[in-house]
Amino acid sequence: MRKLMMVLRVAVTALTVHKMRSILTMLGVVIGVAAVIALVAVGQGAQAQIVSQFQSLGSNLLTVTAGTNFGFSRNGLQQNTRPLTDKDVEAIRALATSVNLIAPDYSTNATVVYQGKTTNTSVSGVTADYAAVRNWSVERGRFISADDNTNLAMVVILGQTVVENLFGSTLVNPVGEVVRINRQPYEVVGVLKTKGQSGFNNQDNTVFMPLRTAQIKLGGAGTTQVRSISLQVRSAAEMDLAQAEVTAILRTLHGLQTGAENDFTVQNQADILSTVAQTTGTFTTLLGSIAAISLLVGGIGIMNIMLVSVTERTREVGLRKAVGAKRSDILVQFLAEAVVLSITGGAVGVLLGVGGAQLISPLLGNTRALVTPQSIILALAVSLAIGIFFGLYPANRAARLNPIDALRYE
């Protein structure tokens, strides 16, 4: 330990002889480490946000949507689309044993009016179970009830963005007020808690009303169609079973023969989340790899300056060998100087990277840069490896100098 401290002290002394040269040499490592920390933090922050948004949609979630079959007829390629209906909902409710809750919805875009103010938004007809399945909470008032659907109640629940657009502020309590959709009056009975932005979709720009009311008032008398069916599976272990059950039920109900393509899609939230996480993870790795190129440039700079140092200190090396220094002593000394350069640059780069990540965050909107201890440890480890790798050749070259030739060097 004592010998190591002496080696480090000598290395620091040698580097401070040419302060500006040492600082400029470290600059490549500083920039490389800072870029890796900041860009990886951006990627990990984006990944964490996307995962959080998917999880906010609900737990153990399956989503059934209408699919499209393409087939050939005498007239060429034809498209056959079969919408989902209330019959599909009731079949799943009756036969899918692994499904805990089922929440169909019927949605369309519409203009909502309140005292001369208008806003374009998504209006969805939902059932009482929709809040539990899709993880919605009410901030004021109440959610849609079973009685609202039974009685075709003319009531709505507003998202935070709709409240702000119609009433001027989210601090206003609109419960009890009347808004108009397609010239029809609806009483506001609740306000949803905010969910925020999801990609290009603002989840708070929405209006909920009873499913049957939406089907009749927005879809027309006799409409039984639903846009999608959200299913809450009893447990995560039964997700695959539930997906298979729902697929079998709908294929039988739709009269699909063996080998025929499904005319619906059953999406497993866990599979989607895994794919998204893998994609964003690849994106983060790509960002880090691009930034790591500057680390290699910094390593080459260290090798270059250490070769210059070996040339400048040839007589010093010869003198040390003449008074008894071993080849390993010379090797360790020059290698220590390269490692001190890279580690110091790495430490400064980490500080700049963490600070840079915080400066970048306001530019990313809702995304927050996420600096993890793993990325910091990795950056420092890479800095150490670069110091050893690029410092080994100059150090070995110094250690192999012939002491007689070194002492004669001018």
Q: Once rounded to an integer, what is the mean pLDDT over residues 401-405? A: 73
Least confident of 15-29, 209-223, 285-299: 285-299
For residue 72, name the pLDDT band (cuts at 50, 70, 90). Answer: very low
Decide if pLDDT at 179 tops 90: yes
pLDDT at 135: 85
Q: How far apart are CA 379 and CA 385, in angstroms?
A: 10
pLDDT at 57: 55
DSSP secondary-structure letter at 152? T
Q: How far apart are CA 40 and CA 52, in angstroms?
A: 18
Best mean pLDDT range from 174-188, 270-284, 338-352: 174-188
- Which residues 6+ apart lie within 8 Å of 310 measured at CB? 317, 334, 394, 397, 398
> Which of residues 233 and 279 earns the better pLDDT score?
233
Decide if pLDDT at 188 tops 90: yes
Alpha helices per DSSP H over 57-205: 86-95, 130-133, 146-150, 160-167
DSSP secondary-structure letter at 168? S
Among residues 201, 194, 200, the alpha carbon closest in space to that of 161 is found at 194
State the Cα angle at 288 between 286 and 291, rounded to 5°.
110
Q: How far apart are CA 406 and CA 282, in angstroms?
A: 51
pLDDT at 250: 92
Decide if pLDDT at 165 tops 90: yes
The structure's pTM equals 0.59
DSSP secondary-structure letter at 344? H
What are the distances in angstroms from CA 344 to CA 24, 33, 327, 349? Answer: 12, 11, 26, 8
N- to C-terminal Cα distance for the chain?
Answer: 36
Determine the length of the chain.
410
Q: Once rounded to an integer, what is the mean pLDDT over residues 223-228? A: 90
Q: How far apart are CA 125 and CA 120, in angstroms?
A: 16
For residue 20, name the pLDDT band (cuts at 50, 70, 90). Answer: confident
Q: How far apart are CA 367 and CA 46, in angstroms?
A: 6
Decide if pLDDT at 302 tops 50: yes
